[in-house]
């Protein structure tokens, strides 16, 4: 799917107009109402978020049943993206397919609007300048993803995608849905050829496969969340190339049967 910088650029424009370097300390209600939009958090059927644009007023609704406040925050920012970018959307609902950065095929079916809204949300919640300053001089680890999520009040998924798109660390990110690899993206600085994995099950000796076998339950805690694996688990070895140590950290979501796997050199 072809992409653009429309969402990111619009978010920068909005932040500049309101005079904020970041909006982290604003509540969801204050953030939305500050743009003259009515904010409602209530149970929604088959939707995580919804925007309703009337003749004189716009309403943004978010599903109050979402268990994680960071996820709610990201849905709010995504709907704001639609508000600023897509004025022809009068009534629009979003769910796990449109809100997930890694479900590229589902987003492509709706055109660029979902990518643009996600890109807007990412820049609005984690402005690049502030984001880079926060992680400067910090080594990558599984705990850093949670630290960033807490700092900017946004979802783990959005943090992972922000890291990989900004090429901050040499990482491989693999998205798995229903036991099949649907998408992957590798930082240019992470050298090596990935094995043929797209539309296949993850490697048998991968941590991702362990989570699938465990029915997406959390099987590692604390420092053990990042497990040591071999380079050859995910990457092809060149002729006469020795294997080396890599790390793999997985974020499973049992509700949707998805896994985000992050792989890096130890």
Q: What burial class does residue 243 get, using C-beta atoms within 10 Å of its C-beta: 0-12 exposed, 13-18 middle, 19+ buried?
A: exposed
Question: Would you state the pLDDT for residue 112?
Answer: 84
10-residue mean pLDDT series, the chain (266 residues): 85 97 97 96 95 95 94 96 93 84 59 89 97 96 95 94 93 95 94 94 97 95 93 95 97 92 97
Tokens 């904020």 correspond to what residue? 20
Is residue 51 within 8 A of residue 89, CB to CB? The reply is yes
What is the C-alpha separation between 40 and 45, in angstroms, rounded? 14
Q: At a CB cut-off of 8 Å and minimum separation 6, what does 160 contact?
A: 145, 173, 251, 260, 262
Q: What is the CA radius of gyration of the chain?
A: 19
What is the C-alpha separation between 72 and 37, in angstroms, rounded? 17
What is the C-alpha separation between 217 and 252, in angstroms, rounded? 7
Question: Would you state the pLDDT for residue 223?
Answer: 85
What is the C-alpha separation between 101 and 118, in angstroms, rounded? 7
Indicate the DSSP class of residue 33: H
* Alpha carbon distance, N-terminus to C-terminus of the chain: 32
Question: Would you state the pLDDT for residue 222?
Answer: 86
Question: Would you state the pLDDT for residue 107?
Answer: 55
What is the C-alpha separation between 178 and 256, in angstroms, rounded? 8
Question: Would you state the pLDDT for residue 245?
Answer: 97
Buried (b) or exposed (e) across 154-167, using 16+ Cβ within 10 A?
bbbbbbbbbbbbee
Domains of the chain: 6-125 (1.10.10), 170-265 (3.30.450)
Q: At a CB cut-off of 8 Å and minimum separation 6, what does 169 contact?
A: 140, 163, 187, 189, 264
* Chain centroid offset of residue 90 CA: 26
Is residue 76 within 8 A of residue 28, CB to CB? The reply is yes
């Amino acid at each position: 799917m072809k992409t653009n910088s429309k969402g990111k650029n619009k978010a920068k424009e909005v932040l500049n107009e309101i005079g904020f370097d970041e909006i982290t300390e604003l509540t969801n209600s204050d953030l939305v109402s500050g743009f003259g939009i009515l904010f409602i958090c209530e149970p929604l059927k088959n939707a995580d978020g919804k925007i309703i644009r009337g003749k004189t007023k716009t309403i943004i609704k978010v599903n109050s049943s979402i268990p994680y406040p960071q996820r709610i925050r990201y849905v709010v920012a995504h709907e704001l993206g639609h508000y600023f970018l897509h004025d022809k959307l009068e009534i629009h609902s979003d769910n796990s397919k449109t809100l997930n950065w890694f479900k590229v095929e589902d987003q492509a079916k709706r055109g660029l609007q979902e990518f643009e809204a996600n890109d807007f949300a990412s820049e609005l919640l984690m402005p690049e300048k502030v984001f880079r300053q926060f992680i400067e001089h910090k080594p990558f680890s599984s705990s850093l993803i949670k630290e960033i999520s807490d700092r900017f009040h946004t979802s783990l998924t959005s943090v992972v995608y922000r890291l990989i798109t900004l090429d901050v660390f040499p990482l491989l990110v693999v998205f798995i849905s229903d036991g099949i690899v649907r998408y992957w993206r590798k930082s240019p600085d992470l050298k090596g050829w990935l094995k043929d994995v797209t539309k296949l099950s993850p490697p048998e000796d991968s941590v991702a496969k362990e989570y699938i076998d465990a029915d997406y339950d959390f099987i590692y805690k604390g420092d053990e969340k990042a497990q040591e694996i071999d380079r050859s688990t995910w990457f092809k070895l060149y002729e006469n190339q020795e294997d080396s140590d890599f790390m793999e950290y997985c974020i499973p979501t049992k509700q949707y049967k998805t896994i985000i796997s992050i792989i890096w050199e130890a």
